[in-house]
Amino acid sequence: MPGFLAFLLNRIGTMLVTMLVISMLVFLIAEVVPIDPARNALGRYASQQKVDELRQKMGLDRPVAVRYVDWISNVLRGDFGESIHFRRPVADLVAVRLERSLTLAALGFAFMIPLGLALGCVAGVNEGKFLDRIISLSASLFVSVPPFASGVFLIVIFSLGLGWLPGVSIPDPDASFFETAKKLILPILALSFDEIGYLARFTRVSMAEVMDSDYIRTAVLKGIPRIKIIWWHALRNALIAPFTAIMLHVNWLIGRVVVVEVLFNYPGLGRLLLDAALRNDIILLEGGTLVLTFVAVSSQVIGDIGIYFMNPRIRLE
């Protein structure tokens, strides 16, 4: 337990330092951008006097260091400021959109992880056989197509061509569960295809290596049934490397969510940040970016904890 506590404190400390550095970078980048939040809030035809009064009210006339300390202090209390465009608290806007983005990402994970692991395990167990070649070829094809391209193909085929599924995913609170689920099918597929291919290839290599190891040969010579060898002896060790890859790809998945949200007009946090960038809403952009960074960094900490318990070599270091 002391070893795990030291491991956990180290990871949390790294996360806090990373968040501090990212917050500084986000704030400084917003300062470098030649956009006046006060002028942007009042419009181009507002008088300079009104702009100067709003700048003073917003505290923009103070030194950068002082404003950063005030901003990060408010963020730690959950106050991200008020959106220039929407005229609503950033925390409220981000909370609603983040819930939708996490829902989409969770559904994508729930679809791609079992399928990718299963395909990789089947291919690894049947290394060099016809089934392995079919799965490997399909996985390579999936990996080579980015989410934006696969999303366009899915819309053209299933929405415009066949008319089976809607090409947009705007939530409707009055819609039935079936209608809501239909709107999410294409975004989930576009989000998952390349990750399924990557995970299948990664798992296939890991499973093939484990099946070729000495202790698996020993189990075979002892007459243990093949299905039992795969399930009880090979699978656990083969999944250590794919689990690491899954957690490392959480950040990539967040980037893909942004692309998919824009493509399917899904009102998540990624779409909100794009709108904030297009409307020069610096305050909303700062708060949303910091929240996305926290999600990405905290997911890595959770992944490290999972790897700690799955891989005994880490516990012995």
pLDDT (0 to 100) of residue 316: 47
What would the mean pLDDT of 27-47 be, rounded to a whole number? 67
User: In which band, very low, low, confident or very high, does the pLDDT at 2 lie, cut at 50, 70 and 90?
Assistant: low
Residue 72 has pLDDT above 80, yes or no: yes
Residue 175 has pLDDT above 70, yes or no: no
What would the mean pLDDT of 272-299 be, rounded to a whole number? 81
Residue 85 has pLDDT above 70, yes or no: yes
HEC string of the chain? CHHHHHHHHHHHHHHHHHHHHHHHHHHHHHHHCCCCHHHHHHCCCCCHHHHHHHHHHHCCCCCHHHHHHHHHHHHHCCCCCECCCCCCEHHHHHHHHHHHHHHHHHHHHHHHHHHHHHHHHHHHHCCCCHHHHHHHHHHHHHHHCCHHHHHHHHHHHHHHHCCCCCCCCCCCCCCCHHHHHHHHHHHHHHHHHHHHHHHHHHHHHHHHHHHCCHHHHHHHHCCCCHHHHHHHHHHHHHCHHHHHHHHHCHHHHHHHHHHHHHHCCCCCHHHHHHHHHHCCCHHHHHHHHHHHHHHHHHHHHHHHHHHHHHCHHHHCC
Q: What is the CA radius of gyration of the chain?
A: 24
Residues in the chain: 317
pLDDT (0 to 100) of residue 25: 84
Choose between 187 and 179: higher pLDDT: 187
Choose between 63 and 20: higher pLDDT: 20
Q: Which one of 231-235, 283-287, 311-315 scores highest in mean pLDDT?
A: 283-287
User: In which band, very low, low, confident or very high, does the pLDDT at 290 lie, cut at 50, 70 and 90?
Assistant: confident
Residue 15 has pLDDT above 70, yes or no: yes
Q: Indicate the pTM of the whole model.
A: 0.72
What would the mean pLDDT of 257-281 be, rounded to a whole number? 80
**Segment among 68-72, 87-91, 151-155, 168-172 with least mean pLDDT:** 168-172
Residue 317 has pLDDT above 70, yes or no: no
Percent of the chain surpassing pLDDT 70 = 74
Average pLDDT, the chain: 76
